[in-house]
Structure 1
Amino acid sequence: MMLPKVELHLHLEGAAPPAFIRGLAAERHIDIGRVFDERGGYAFTDFWHFLKVYEAATSVLTTPGDYRRLTRAVLAESAASGVIYTEAFLSPDFCGGRDLSAWRDYLAAIREAAEEAERQEGIVMRGIVTPIRHFGPEKARETAICAVETAGDWLVGFGLAGDEKSGNPKDFSWAFDAAREAGLRLTCHAGEWGGPQSVRDAIRDLRVERIGHGVRAIEDLALVDEIAERGTVLEVCPGSNVALGLYPSFRAHPIHRLRERGVKVTVSTDDPPFFHTTMEREYALLAEAFDWDDGVFGVIARTSAEAAFCTEETRKKLLKILEKAHA
């Protein structure tokens, strides 16, 4: 039986199947062949080149209708891998250029597709708005306004993505304070390329309850213990970290050591087609690397559900599904 999974770290555009992006580019007569390799997958050399390829692929998504189709395609892939709940990062930067009126239209299309997927495939999606860090703090303020004006039971969180080496978390304090005041739950990409200090800064300066990645914390065991004591949840994406060269293999990845030290870890795919992964593949490779059994994955799925930014009603439904599967 395929285990039910809860995913907390998924970039909507980054989850676009390459064939979907190629097809959309062909419809628009846009040449983005440079973003694909000879086998039709996404082609990049390192993380910073990945960011450029990501933005080039996203450039063909130009209407709310495109995002509706994208959301259906992404959720179909996730559901096929056993995902019952996913939180997707959404960027007004890509959805209407941070114009609030346009953002509302894009968000409505994404939500409509998500609700259709929930009815037809049983997968639940919620949205987390993310400014793009390397676009700068001022644009992040505009993104935060979009988030604040559309916050609710469906748009539930606020985060920060992009080049971790661009600026400092405190540069984005205004945006995070605004999101917090609007009732949005907070996360932040850190501890991937910026090292342990970036995790400490995100927790201290932005007061987030989750960290996207966070794995470089393992280089500072005092920080690891602080994370465990605080109950800060790490949105770990092992396949992404290995594909981008942060670690040479799953066996070398620190997720197991973090978990053994009491940190609440979850498992996600980040940008799955870029990194040739799925949630099912993540589970299989983690089981192989660390001899994790269904019991361990049950704990991780429950941790994910408990850390999700959804309503308590939705959380109870997720936990009931997980309890039944792991009974």
Structure 2
Amino acid sequence: MPKAEVHVHLEGAIELADLLEAAADADAALPGPAATLFDPSTHRLRPGGSELSTYLEFLDWVGSLYGSRQRLARLAYRFAARQSASGVRYTDVIVNPSHWGAWRHDLPGFFDALASGLDEAEADGLAPVGLCASIERGQTAAEAAELASIIAERRPRRVVALSIDGDEGRHGRTAARFADAFDIARRAGLGRTVHAGESSGPEGVWDALTLLHADRIDHGVRAVEDDRLVAHLAEAGVSLGICPSSNLALGVVDRLGVHPVQRLMESGVVVTINSDDPAPLATSIEAEWAMCAAAFGWDGSTLVDLARASVRASYASAEVRAVLESELDAQAAHAEHAELDRLGATARLLEATP
């Protein structure tokens, strides 16, 4: 099914084989045994729980492996290939320059290297990818404003939005610190997406909306704790980029069956289903969709609606959106015909039953 993914981190989407290859090329020591590099029971390198800060340090190590333009471009190409293999037709990928130490003093070069790999991938027929340049929550207001100014003034190819990620639990309510940076992005017409409402409560989502003027929320599942916030999200059409496996890893929910995604949907909130950090979480976008469909009984029509929501929540170009919406119209018609065929077959069976 044609769909978009709007909440996935480049740093968390590098598969083990690629990491080992990059470490060998860079002559870098591994932070643990190769076979268990992503095993949370041995190295606690997972994007969740009390280990989140350790995981972010691991991402700094990952970024240190990609100091050359060629290696960074190849990484971007492989990301586009993996997304395409999962049936994703457009991706907004979050990339946080603070993790890529070799590029901290050459942010334009960093974004250009990524864009060159994505350009090559698209020229080869792979799905297009937009870059969401992300502030790390522990950075200063000046560092955030510098990043926002670079992308607003220089307009690096494929950069479509400003983002914030990082450890909410450790740094607390930091939105006010980054208000100036997000105002720069807003005035430049860039998208604005903020991690909030996972390790923080509803107050983090309110801060993202009121102080940063976010047009999309990454996670946001704890918005369900505030009925007024849920109503506001539904009325304003602000989408939540939900990542079920990440929520389970972080302990926001203890099992999928009680995840608030269904309640949010029933309340009229626009949600999308995403993979977040698929490599260490051992997941994929199609796995996230499949397990949610099984847990909540989503039928073909619901999945088409979710795919359509993902396209509309994305920062894809109008041309890409139009193509995907057209394909989803065809999917919806097919799903409707299939349901009518199923009902007809059931009716015939009942008529023939004594």
TM-score normalised over the length of structure 2: 0.86
1:79 equivalent in alignment to 2:77: no
Q: Distance in 1 between matches of 2:249 and 2:167?
A: 17
Q: CA deviation at 1:183?
A: 1.3
Deviations 1:117-176 (A, max 9, x none): 223343111111111111232211221122213337732111111112324211101100
After superposition, where does 1:120-199 map in structure 2 within 5 Å? 120-151=124-155, 154-165=158-169, 166=171, 167-199=173-205
Q: Distance in 1 between matches of 2:56 and 2:317?
A: 32
State the partner residue of 1:113: 117
State the partner residue of 2:298: 292
Name the structure where helix makes up a greater proportion of residues.
Answer: 2
User: Which is higher, the Rg of structure 1 or of structure 2?
Assistant: 2
State the partner residue of 1:32: 30
Deviations 1:70-126 (A, max 9, x none): 112222221111111100112333455443xx2222222211221222233431111
- DSSP-derived class of the 2:160 partner: strand
Residues 309 and 71 (structure 1 numbering): CA distance in 2 closer, same or farther, change over 3 Å? same
State the partner residue of 1:57: 62
- 8 Å contact kept, 2:73–2:113: yes
- Select which of 254, 262, 272 maps to 1:248: 254
Q: Distance in 1 between matches of 2:127 and 2:273?
A: 17
Task: After superposing the two structures, state which structure 1 stretch, 205-214 or 117-126, moved more.
Answer: 117-126
- Kindly provide the amino acid, as one letter, of the partner of residue 28 in structure 2: I
Structure 2: give runs of 5+ residues left out of the alignment: 46-50, 334-354
- Kindly provide the amino acid, as one letter, of the partner of residue 162 in structure 1: G
Q: Distance in 2 between matches of 1:109 and 1:233?
A: 30
Residues 91 and 155 (structure 1 numbering): CA distance in 2 closer, same or farther, change over 3 Å? same
- Kindly provide the amino acid, as one letter, of the partner of residue 118 in structure 2: A
- 8 Å contact kept, 1:17–1:74: no
Q: CA deviation at 1:201?
A: 0.9
- Kindly provide the amino acid, as one letter, of the partner of residue 124 in structure 2: Q
State the partner residue of 2:209: 203
Paired-residue identity, %? 34
- Kindly provide the amino acid, as one letter, of the partner of residue 4 in structure 2: V
- 8 Å contact kept, 1:180–1:186: yes
Residues 261 and 141 (structure 1 numbering): CA distance in 2 closer, same or farther, change over 3 Å? same
- Kindly provide the amino acid, as one letter, of the partner of residue 107 in structure 1: F
Q: CA deviation at 1:57?
A: 2.0
Q: CA deviation at 1:59?
A: 2.0
Residues 121 and 251 (structure 1 numbering): CA distance in 2 closer, same or farther, change over 3 Å? farther
Deviations 1:166-221 (A, max 9, x none): 24211101100111111101111100111111001110111111001000111112
1:313 equivalent in alignment to 2:319: yes
Q: Distance in 1 between matches of 2:232 and 2:22?
A: 46
Task: After superposing the two structures, state which structure 1 stretch, 47-56 or 223-232, moved more.
Answer: 47-56
Q: Distance in 2 between matches of 1:293 and 1:267?
A: 15
- Kindly provide the amino acid, as one letter, of the partner of residue 77 in structure 1: R
Q: Distance in 1 between matches of 2:126 and 2:26?
A: 32
- DSSP-derived class of the 2:315 partner: coil
Q: Distance in 1 between matches of 2:281 and 2:60?
A: 16
Residues 215 and 55 (structure 1 numbering): CA distance in 2 closer, same or farther, change over 3 Å? same
- Kindly provide the amino acid, as one letter, of the partner of residue 24 in structure 1: A
Q: Distance in 2 between matches of 1:14 and 1:136?
A: 23
After superposition, where does 1:214-293 map in structure 2 within 5 Å? 214-293=220-299
Q: CA deviation at 1:267?
A: 1.1
State the partner residue of 1:14: 12
- Kindly provide the amino acid, as one letter, of the partner of residue 55 in structure 1: D
- 8 Å contact kept, 2:112–2:157: no
- DSSP-derived class of the 1:54 partner: helix
Residues 311 and 259 (structure 1 numbering): CA distance in 2 closer, same or farther, change over 3 Å? same
State the partner residue of 2:44: 44
Q: CA deviation at 1:244?
A: 2.7
- 8 Å contact kept, 2:271–2:309: yes
TM-score normalised over the length of structure 1: 0.92
The alignment yields a C-alpha RMSD, in angstroms, of 1.9
Deviations 1:252-298 (A, max 9, x none): 21111111111000111111111111011011100111011221111
Count of residue correspondences: 322
Q: CA deviation at 1:66?
A: 2.0
